[in-house]
Amino acid sequence: MAAMTESTIVRRPWSVRAALVRVHRWLGLGIALFLFVAGLTGALISWDHELDAVLNPRLFVADSGVAAASDAPSQAATSRARGGLELAAQLESRDPRLQVIYTPLVAVPGETLQMLVAPRIESATGKLVQLDFNQVAIDPSTGVVQGRREWGAVSLARENLLPFLYKLHYTMHIPDVRGVQLGIWVMGIVGIVWVLDGIVALAISFPSRAAWRKSLAFRWGKGGFPLLFDLHRSSGVWLWLLLLVVALTSVSMNLQYQVVRPIVARFSTLSPDVFSTRRPVSAEKAIEPAISRAQVVQLARGEAARRQISAPAGAVFYSPEYATYGVGFFSPGQDHGDGGLGNPWLYFDAASGAPVGAAVPGTGSAGDLYMQAQFPLHSGRIAGTTGRVVVSALGLVVASLSLTGVLIWVRKQRARRLQAD
């Protein structure tokens, strides 16, 4: 929530500016709590992988790597590190209730290999098996499962804290209703309101040409309400463009297919998106893929060579609902796509192995490039570590603007009541 105009308590005749002040006030108050939570969680999840590793070393540090580092005689320390394809097949063989839907192909030396899993359909009932986890961490040298958890569970337990905060950031953990992801919709609408409110805030932040400097100043010496007001208005003005980028990209993160892609397509041709051109089915009706992960990785490597993608195959995922494989190209440990527009992904039909789409950063129309930039901009990863620092700081600013906006409103409401008395 950006700047709020400083005005007297006395009611003024109607004017465009007065109307905009009221619009800003009520829009800002309506989304203040959502933005406060999203700002604080955003500041933390900019470093989700690093913080998660500190809190849960068993999920990230391979036991065989620790043994090797300490020079302790151990079979684990000297055994061959296995690839993700072999480990995924081994995990599914040990536990037929699950299927691996995402796995890196090579683990970072000394680290576990983390996979995402989904329940299979039980043949006797035709329903999904009940699993109490969806993420597994495996020591690549021994094949031992070091830990598992339900990513995104509503829990403040140590192993669930960072995933809980991550999902809180974009859904508020609002439950789905009749298959509708209500939390994603709510936060997407909050993003739209935030964009509109930011535009209104800028319009009212400069009451006159003669007094424009006030909107950029901080009255540090006065303290109290004047400083509170300046922290709200002037911070919003100084950082307005960066805040607008975060707000716009937040809409793209939650309502890409419902809102953003249709709007962008009006101005620029967009390449077909595999998840908007293929019809999904329910998880209970999903079919087993006709080709294996190893086969699709081989197909992807050939397609990558044709497209002149130089990075190695880094991970493979399978979407049962879309009957689609995806293969990403990046070096071990670079699955987050730090720097630039992210990693290339190639998609294949799980029944025939035919290519069905691609997302190759830096290619396509202007609209394609705009869509490719949304997550890198929102996360700050487009500028590497520096970008993540900036986005983390902006998260704290968003929380601060939301809080100061509410405090200003409370202060003015109190003054109005005192004046009425």
Burial classification of residue 143, based on how many CB atoms lie within 10 Å of its CB (0-12 exposed, 13-18 middle, 19 or more buried)? middle
Contacts with 180 (C-beta within 8 Å, 6 or more apart), sequence order: none
Average pLDDT over all residues of the chain = 92
Residue in 381, 379, 396, 389 with CA at minimum distance from that of residue 246? 379
Per-residue pLDDT of 208-264, as tens digits, reads 777 788 889 999 988 899 999 999 999 999 999 999 999 999 999 999 999 999 999
- The mean-pLDDT minimum among 24-28, 103-107, 140-144, 223-227 falls in 223-227
Q: 180 falls in which pLDDT band (50, 70, 90)?
A: very high
Q: What is this structure's pTM?
A: 0.90
Residues 201 and 5: their CA atoms lie apart, in Å, by 8
Q: What is the number of other CB atoms lying within 10 angstroms of the CB of residue 263?
A: 10
Residue 250 pLDDT: 98
Q: 67 falls in which pLDDT band (50, 70, 90)?
A: low
Among 11-15, 257-261, 339-343, top mean pLDDT goes to 257-261
Per-residue pLDDT of 304-321, as tens digits, reads 999 999 999 999 999 999
124 against 70, higher pLDDT: 124
Residue 3 pLDDT: 45
Residue 44 pLDDT: 98
Torsion angle of alpha carbons 214, 220, 224, 229, nearest 10°? 30
Q: 362 falls in which pLDDT band (50, 70, 90)?
A: very high
Residues 92 and 69: their CA atoms lie apart, in Å, by 30
- Specify the amino acid at residue 7: S
Residues 80-105 have a mean pLDDT of 95
Residue in 194, 191, 195, 171 with CA at minimum distance from that of residue 183? 171
Q: 86 falls in which pLDDT band (50, 70, 90)?
A: very high
Task: Look up residue 36 and give its two tokens.
Answer: 């406060």
Q: 13 falls in which pLDDT band (50, 70, 90)?
A: low
Q: Is the pLDDT of residue 93 over 60?
A: yes
Q: By the 8 A CB rule, do 97 and 91 touch?
A: no
- Specify the amino acid at residue 12: R
Q: 126 falls in which pLDDT band (50, 70, 90)?
A: confident
Residue 372 pLDDT: 96
- The mean-pLDDT minimum among 207-216, 218-227, 338-347, 364-373 falls in 207-216
Residues 218 and 226: their CA atoms lie apart, in Å, by 8
Residue 4 pLDDT: 45
Task: Look up residue 336 and give its two tokens.
Answer: 């987050």
Q: Is the pLDDT of residue 74 over 60?
A: no
Q: 155 falls in which pLDDT band (50, 70, 90)?
A: very high
Q: 287 falls in which pLDDT band (50, 70, 90)?
A: confident
Residues 392-413 have a mean pLDDT of 97
